[in-house]
Every structure is written in structure tokens, then in C-alpha cells.
Structure 1
């Protein structure tokens, strides 16, 4: 994972903490994982300005060690789905970029070895995606990544993202 990606993820957790600070005490009491930082969250809600920002950064470091999914669900339940949707979008972008990077590396390996490479290539990223979202069609993703590497047309990159987004929406409707 690149340093930029690590920074983006920390910023996402920081936004989560900023939203958690806005929640009332009764809602925070429902989450068992927050026992050690619950009081600090409540005190931070009363702070203003740079003191509040500094405290949010401190809480970010502590909360980053906890499981984040229940916290995102809690914030989504009480303050809207925007934060959760943005996190899901970043995850899909990460998968798309990883798939394209893997396809480019595979193409380079094949060119150096002088072998043949086609649309049905195997990919670790696609296997990961199938674990996370079993509804994905590996052939479609492999074909789109292959087409991107052959033409460098950004249309195929956007198509990969659209496909992943549609699979994710299908999963959410079926839950």
C-alpha cells in the first residue's frame, strides 16, 4: 500500500471520528468497542477550534486500532449514509487501481518472456474481489483490464469501476 493510500485511509478514519464526536452519549453507549474512548469522545464534543482538531487526531490514532465497520454503520444509521458511501467508493477505486496495476505488470512480464497473453488471464486481485463479492464475473473483469492494458483507453478503467459499483449495489439490494 502506498504512502498516499495510507494517508487517505487515516483521513477517512479522522472523518469517522469527527462524525462520532457529533453523536449523543446514548448512541455512543450502544457500542461496546468504544468503552475506553467514550469519555474522550464526549469531552471532545464540547471543545472548539484547534483544540478540538488536535483531540480528534489523537482519538483517530486510538480508534484506528478498533474494528471500524460497526462504527461506520453506527454513523451511517444516525447521521446519514454519505460517509459510508464515500468509504465504499474509495474501496472500489482501490480494487480498480490494483486490478489495472496487476494487469500492466502481467503484460510487462509477458512481453519480456515473449509469451502470449489473452483476455482470460488469472489475477490475485480478481480472486480477492470474488471473495469479497461472490457475484463478480472474473472473465468480465479480466477482459476489461486486458483491454485497458492493450489500448490505455481510460474508458475501460471507468467501465471496471462501473461494473464493480453495479455489483456492490446488487449486493446491497439483496441484503
Structure 2
């Protein structure tokens, strides 16, 4: 249960990437952020946590010293999207289908400098569902993961913010 307020996912993406930039630099990972204003309603704190978890995972589960993370926000007719994509090891669809389960870290994805316990994507899934959204995880052909969070847009029947 949370109070819903107007939130712009693009601002959440910007804050998460700025906050996590030192971690990305430590891992030798480049972050590219693009997109447009993405008005939705929900908990600003929870949506920031969702975004931070996605960007953090994309950094630590990446190619050390040469990886890339792409963060994009977009608007569809009745929804807004946050997409986080990264380079990394090749993942099977079967493994990817388990990554939102609690305490799942995936084989060969454990890093000694990362103290996570496999709750990041489970939390993202819970926050997405609480905001009446959908979470889609797809392995990238070249390796890594493509994650999309789709949430209801503000003013799906109108032209803008309330």
C-alpha cells in the first residue's frame, strides 16, 4: 500500500544512472541513457528502487572492463516503458525465466565483489506488479539481458499530465 503521485520514469532513470556511475566506472562499464518524458503514477521511492535495482544488476552482471548498459525510457499509446539492456554472458531463455524468483542469481553469475543474494529482480517484479505493470526479461542474442518495465501512462485518454 502506497500513495500514488505523478512520477516521470525518465527522471528515475537519470538519478539511478548518475548514482551508479562510480560503480560502472569501477567495473569498466559504459552507461548510455536516452529517452523521453515518461509520466506515470505510483510511489516515487519504489520506482526509484526498481530503476536502481535494474541498473545495478546490469552493471555487475556485465562484461568487466568492456561492458555497456543502455537505459531508455519511452511512451506508447497507453503505457510508458523503462528498458535496461546490457552486454554480458550468453543466457538461455530457461535461465532468464527463473531470474525473478527470489534468491536466484543464475549460474556463472556470482561475483566475489558483489554481495547480492538474488533479490534484485524479485523486488523489481513485485514493484512492477504493485504499479499495475508488466516486466519482461529477454536474453540478448549477443549476450546479456534486455529488460522492459511497462507501466500505465498518465493521461492515456488525454494528452498529458493530470
**Do both share a fold (TM > 0.5)?**
no
Larger Rg: 1
Quick check: which one's helix share is greater? 1
TM-score (norm 2): 0.28
Higher relative contact order (CA 8 A, sep 6+): 2
TM-score (norm 1): 0.27
Quick check: which one's strand share is greater? 2
